[in-house]
Amino acid sequence: MGVEYVDIDGDGRKEMLVQYPAGAHGSQLRIFAWRQSEFSEIGHLGVGTPVGFDIGDFDGDGKLEIRTEETDWSAGLPYVTAPRITLLYRWNGSAFEEVSPKKLDLKDA
Ligand SMILES: [Ca+2]
Ligand SMILES: [Ca+2]
């Protein structure tokens, strides 16, 4: 389990990001913001891979994204050989929304 304090929504205050393993292969990320004198959860992401979640400005626009990987089951392959796809999430003002890496000019994809 890991805890980070990052201003993930860009409002100048840091949020608490908690990530932890889930099940045999999965990873979960929960994001809490300090609002009205208490922590409230503003986001909860989960994937079926153990890679976890990276926080960074992966497209160089000055805003932070959350990067993780999910198994691409579309190939119909078993878990160990199935390819993985990179997922990016970005705060859209009210929720974390998935943004396609293809729409971004990734620096280190
Ligand atoms: Ca913030
Ligand atoms: Ca960015």
pLDDT tens across 71-87, in order?
A: 888 888 887 888 899 99
List pLDDT tens digits, range 17-32. 999 999 989 999 999 9
Measured CA to CA in angstroms, residue 63 lies from 25, 36, 58, 90 at distances of 29, 24, 9, 8
Question: 57 is written with which tokens?
Answer: 């400005």
Asked if 82 contacts 91 with a C-beta cutoff of 8 angstroms, the reply is no
Q: What is the distance, to the nearest Å, from the Cα of residue 73 to the centroid of all Cα atoms in its chain?
A: 19
Which ligand has the shortest distance to the CA of 58?
2
Asked if 41 contacts 16 with a C-beta cutoff of 8 angstroms, the reply is no
Ligand 1 centroid – CA 34 distance (Å): 9
Ligand 2 centroid – CA 13 distance (Å): 17
Asked if 28 contacts 45 with a C-beta cutoff of 8 angstroms, the reply is yes
Which ligand has the shortest distance to the CA of 99?
2
d(CA 57, CA 68): 13
Structure-token match 């990052």, residue found: 6
Looking at residue 61, what is its pLDDT? Answer: 87
Which ligand has the shortest distance to the CA of 103?
2
Which ligand has the shortest distance to the CA of 89?
2
pTM of the model: 0.84
Residue (of 89, 19, 102, 103) closest to 56 by Cα position: 89
| Ion ligand 2 — residues with CB < 5 Å | 57, 59, 61, 63, 65
